[in-house]
Structure 1
């Protein structure tokens, strides 16, 4: 009986150290061979994983896997690199088989590679730290930034953050922010929800801006919980409960929370912001006595007579938690509305002055609405400040590039032309915290745009010109922008909308909720407040 099975010849292979300049880069399914400075720096210390190459029938060594390592080694000036060489003739019978094998090898080697998970990277950096290496030394050894090392170390302190960088595909920088809210599960949930929507940076900025209020509310609710009381951060509806001061006891006195059944009480907890203004000599002054119209950037601008110059005071915003008690079952505690008690007991008390009479439902609703409107302005102004911080960080990063985003030159030219035609006054806008020229310099990394243009290439000059226009619009975006444009100048509001939509279209900037109020895509009432 004849055995017709044939056995392929065994591949002849060897591991050698070769001059990268003598190696030929074979055809490759990977067409992007770009290497950056960080990659070259990592290769400069030596190629740790051998490149894979074949030797053809003419003795030419062709790199099949490891072209980027080879190119980086050449750029770093390495004399030799490890190369695993297989003789092609022993495993590839002809050109067709050679091409087929090359493609298969390259797809497999590139497709099977899997980078470290974020949690693994954080743990690795933490372990290096435990060996005694400083964050600066770790950054140097890993050829990365100290900022990233600090982020990894912070992420490593929180299991929640480590899990999230993997499951929610967060960066280590985002993991560091998440780790800072280990004691605030609600904040963690908000951040993860925002991450899924591409709004992580905005939510992080909003949380940072309202951190004091959230902390005050959280502390107050923890204390109430220890005492056995239920609490909420949402004002109860009239169907759910009534404010405790709406009721009186059987003898007509106002009920105290401690005299009521705990199970029937609900504490409505919210934060109140208080502005404290102190002069240089430590005197506390009234906020309304300060001339806030003074241009603090103009030395010649002076406060009106009898008013205080804002440049002479230090303003501090302090958040404190307040509790309003509500009752869910007045009959159980034998309580009744005050007006009802008065009707039932006309002889037991003299009518109180009108100012002491309990408010009607209509008046109480009006009072509550006015109070809510004031709180909304304060809260949304803070969100606008947070959004501005994220937006300007994004602009600084975008304007550091040498060129405009690919394929956007027409959109940029149109945006600049419309701005010059309809909002030319913005270029010279100067007011407190809104000087277009100063903002332009800040967006360009502290470089005066006129000086930058002197040495800029044609494409870089386009970026600088755009920076000047973007700065003009930034000067037109005070924290109150969400309230609308000036009623006599509709173009102001239209300019803000056009600006934000331009950022979204050209740079892929994700608008914050408060910015969507400016564009009209959301209403102010649709934003949940802390």
Structure 2
């Protein structure tokens, strides 16, 4: 709330005079800042609290007050229709002094650290100021206020916000989410400084969710008396999967092996495809039928942890291979027949495939969220027309497939998820949205249809498939502000580099 002060009230210290004047009477003089850049948050703060720091001006030969320092405050006061503003009237400087003073006022300012802002918001909350009021009175988005108070409640996040200048409040709040995982906090701090933060967050969240689901699956097995072990090293011959074993002439099953002392299971992830068998019987459509009401998009597949049963010492318990030879766990060269170097190479390759597949799944979530935000824009980037035309000219499989299939992902990314058409049908909802759009927005929708087509054509094999169409698509996203993850760069043809962990720098000594 502003305090009402009468215009022209003055205080004189012998060298300068403090006056309260109508900002409309001020003349904005020459300034080193060519663009005032009145951001909405700054204007809102002036509207809420008025000008709190005095504008500096001099009186010209006509008596008019010419602003020396405080150009943005003056313009914001005019925009928000302030009645009066404080003005410190000084003698007119010579031009070199004016330039030096204006440079110094802007150069020798240091923004608050995230930790300082967190502490201020915490104190406001302690004084009983609600989160909504904090947001309004400080011209801060409500999500940032919520994030700041989350940081205040986490010793790890608060300490990080106080130590590292590159850590903003939303990123510090993510650290609070992982405060019980010291290594994750270190990794996030490095990503906040060096890039890839969103991808790192998603990968850590996915890994945590996966570990939780795996623990639940293991607990369910343990509850029924099954020993749960880690995936065995198949080069050790005593470990063999039940489906590869028999006892006498009888193939081993979970049921007939349950009483064996070597009975155990390890967990492996498998994909579930909802409604896999619920295919449309008649995929032909002459375009005259009306689309069915309600969601039409096919449910997304998801991963679950399933047990693979084995015997921990098959030979000792009288079991023999069903098919002869040793079960290496692969269809390739048996692990037992490999030398140490070959086994290590096979382990490394397998680990790379597993890790890269998981990284792709995490990156997909980040990428699609970025696309949703990007496609909300009312005006397409200047490069859109060339990309759209190029995509149509290339007739890439992803584009033709999406057009013939109804481009379902485009509906989700453009906010029409519940009105996606069935396979092979046009979308009345999309046609209506395009028909009502301005030319600039229609171009953005057209870009969205093309981008969604490529996105729908991606899968977790892209990082090793080297498809030119997907590389072109990802590079276009990158050119428009999307930060590619390491695995997405591999899909663009970049070779993976050795993962070097960057140390988190310590704060400078006071």
Normalising by the residue count of structure 2, what TM-score does the alignment of the two structures yield?
0.67
Whether 2:388 is the aligned partner of 1:416: answer: yes
Which of 13, 16, 30 aligns to 2:19? It is: 16
Matches within 5 A, 1:401-480: 401-404=377-380, 409=382, 411-423=383-395, 426=399, 429=402, 435-439=408-412, 441-442=414-415, 448=430, 451=433, 454-456=436-438, 458=440, 460-480=441-461
Matched with 1:59 is 63
Unpaired segments ≥5 residues, structure 1: 1-9, 93-97, 221-232, 247-269, 276-286, 302-309, 327-336, 340-348, 486-492
CA distance 1:218–1:317, shift in 2 (3 Å): closer
Matches within 5 A, 1:302-313: none
Which of 114, 125, 135 aligns to 1:139? It is: 135
Whether 2:268 is the aligned partner of 1:292: answer: no
Matches within 5 A, 1:307-456: 317-318=303-304, 353-354=320-321, 359=326, 363-364=334-335, 380-404=356-380, 409=382, 411-423=383-395, 426=399, 429=402, 435-439=408-412, 441-442=414-415, 448=430, 451=433, 454-456=436-438
Equivalent residue of 2:183, what SS? Answer: helix
Give me the whole-angstrom Cα distance separating, in 1, the residues matched to 2:79 and 2:435.
32
Q: Deviations over 1:375-402 (max 9, x none)?
A: 8766544433321222233233334445
Superposed CA RMSD in Å reads: 4.9
Matches within 5 A, 1:28-107: 28-45=31-48, 46-88=50-92, 92=93, 98-107=94-103
Which of 170, 173, 186 aligns to 1:173? It is: 170
Retained in 2: the 8 A contact 1:12–1:86?
yes
Give me the whole-angstrom Cα distance separating, in 2, the residues matched to 1:34 and 1:61.
22
Unpaired segments ≥5 residues, structure 2: 1-12, 218-229, 241-265, 284-295, 420-428, 502-510
Normalising by the residue count of structure 1, what TM-score does the alignment of the two structures yield?
0.65
CA distance 1:355–1:468, shift in 2 (3 Å): closer
Matches within 5 A, 1:189-338: 189-215=186-212, 272-273=268-269, 292=276, 294=278, 317-318=303-304
Equivalent residue of 1:189, what SS? Answer: helix
Whether 2:509 is the aligned partner of 1:513: answer: no
CA distance 1:313–1:26, shift in 2 (3 Å): closer
Q: CA deviation at 1:216?
A: 7.2
Equivalent residue of 1:143, what SS? Answer: coil
Q: CA deviation at 1:358?
A: 9.0
Retained in 2: the 8 A contact 1:439–1:475?
no
Which of 104, 108, 120 aligns to 2:104? It is: 108
Whether 2:477 is the aligned partner of 1:503: answer: yes
Q: CA deviation at 1:443?
A: 9.4
Give me the whole-angstrom Cα distance separating, in 2, the residues matched to 1:58 and 1:26.
14
Give me the whole-angstrom Cα distance separating, in 2, the residues matched to 1:495 and 1:314.
23
Give me the whole-angstrom Cα distance separating, in 2, the residues matched to 1:82 and 1:299.
76
CA distance 1:386–1:418, shift in 2 (3 Å): same
Retained in 1: the 8 A contact 2:396–2:469?
no
Whether 2:158 is the aligned partner of 1:182: answer: no
Give me the whole-angstrom Cα distance separating, in 2, the residues matched to 1:366 and 1:435.
48
Q: Deviations over 1:118-141 (max 9, x none)?
A: 011112212222223332222122
CA distance 1:434–1:244, shift in 2 (3 Å): farther
Matched with 2:425 is none
Whether 2:126 is the aligned partner of 1:152: answer: no
Equivalent residue of 1:100, what SS? Answer: helix
Give me the whole-angstrom Cα distance separating, in 1, the residues matched to 2:68 and 2:167.
33
Q: CA deviation at 1:440?
A: 5.1
CA distance 1:381–1:38, shift in 2 (3 Å): same
Q: Deviations over 1:343-378 (max 9, x none)?
A: xxxxxx999745599949862368999999888766
CA distance 1:22–1:139, shift in 2 (3 Å): same
Give me the whole-angstrom Cα distance separating, in 2, the residues matched to 1:101 and 1:234.
74
Give me the whole-angstrom Cα distance separating, in 1, the residues matched to 2:189 and 2:307.
26
Q: Deviations over 1:267-300 (max 9, x none)?
A: xxx974366xxxxxxxxxxx69x762646xx797
Retained in 2: the 8 A contact 1:517–1:524?
no
Which of 452, 468, 472 aligns to 1:494? It is: 468
Q: Deviations over 1:435-476 (max 9, x none)?
A: 2541452399x9958635645255x55444333322222222
Retained in 2: the 8 A contact 1:13–1:87?
yes
Retained in 2: the 8 A contact 1:151–1:172?
yes
CA distance 1:352–1:61, shift in 2 (3 Å): closer
